[in-house]
Amino acid sequence: MRTSFSLIHGLALTAALALSSVWAVRLPFLSMLGPLVIAMMLGIMFRSIFGTKKTLQPGISFSSKHLLRLGIILLGMRLNLTDIYHAGANVFFVAVFSMAFSLAAVYILSRWFRVDQKLSILTACGTAICGAAAVVAIAPQIKANDNETAISAAAVSLLGTLFTVIYTVIYSIIGLAPGAFGAFAGGTLHEVAHVVAAAAAGGSDAVDMAIIVKLTRVALLVPVALILGMMTQRKKGAGKLSFSSLPIPWFILGFLAMSAFHTSGMIPEAQAEQIVSVSYFLIGMAMAGLGLKVHVSEFQENGGRALAAGLIGSVLLSLFGYVIVFLLI
């Protein structure tokens, strides 16, 4: 009975913080941070001001683990695989090359800045794939702790917000047609919200192309999660891997299954959008739960180096993405 009581109260707290983030995202500037990062920051602020009682921990842990996985599965309803297919090979190559370059550049820079290996991997994946959602999806695969996850998610999202503003300002002077600009934004910006906000400067054609390229990068989350999980298990000395011992992220496969379900057309678009909204709220509760577990002192100690590495990596990714788009689109 007491466990159920604690579970409900912890869940209620993360839900309240997630709801607050949905409201806060309507405010100027905060809209570019996105509700996920705001929910996490609210969790950090709540803990630093009020602390968290032990009775809240079951619900907080349930949000940051189980609701996170459910949210990521439902997020697959956002991805229509036929859109990626019809966009053509060049769009696919823009997404793949940008992701590969970003993974390598941000990881190498992070290690050069003496950032912890797991935090380096998370920051690289968040920059390369889909921001905070990629960070929280990859974290279980490499056994990252809550502080590492929160630091990386915050760094990636703050950088994405900065570059969204920059892209909007430079659209008229970089000489890209609307479709090409959309591919540029979709291939190099971090969160889906960042991509849409930046591409809006080029009109509807730019937004459509940006979403296709970005969601292609989102789809690459599945193989990256599998590869990193296998590498982590092999490093732990598990010996020869069998199929039953593979660190398969079932929630990521659930994400892919939901994408296939959406692609089949069995779910009307309006209902698909509602499911995506639910998924973001659940992930928002998970991010709030992560924030409620963060030690501010460790966040301050390691966040600056991860942010610096991500900043330089993001600049390099923008330059690389511009060249790729200019050559292929």
* pLDDT single digits (tens) 191-224: 877 887 788 889 888 888 888 888 888 888 878 8
Q: Using N-to-C axis directions, what is the helix angle for 2-24 and 35-50, rounded to 10°?
A: 120
Q: What percent of the chain has pLDDT over 70?
A: 90
Look up the pTM and report it: 0.74
Q: What is the mean pLDDT of the chain?
A: 84
d(CA 94, CA 164): 19
Element (H, E) at 185: helix 178-188
* pLDDT single digits (tens) 102-133: 999 999 999 999 999 999 999 999 999 888 87
Q: Is the pLDDT of residue 88 over 70?
A: yes
Cβ count within 10 A of residue 235 = 9
Q: Is the pLDDT of residue 17 over 50?
A: yes
Radius of gyration of the chain (CA): 19
Any idea what the Cα angle at residue 329 is, between residues 185 and 181, rounded to 5°?
30
* pLDDT single digits (tens) 132-185: 878 888 888 888 888 888 888 888 878 887 898 899 889 989 989 999 999 999
Query: Which of 17-26, 49-58, 164-173, 179-188 bottoms out in mean pLDDT, i.e. has the lowest?
Result: 49-58
Bigger pLDDT: 146 vs 22: 22
Residue 246 has what pLDDT? Answer: 47
Q: For residue 268, which phi and psi values (nearest 5 degrees)?
A: -60, 150
Q: Please compute the mean of the pLDDT values over residues 14-32 and round it to a whole number.
A: 86
Domain coordinates in residue numbering, the chain: 2-328
Bigger pLDDT: 88 vs 176: 176
Burial status of residue 328 (CB atoms within 10 A of its CB: 0-12, 13-18, 19 or more): middle
Cβ count within 10 A of residue 312 = 15
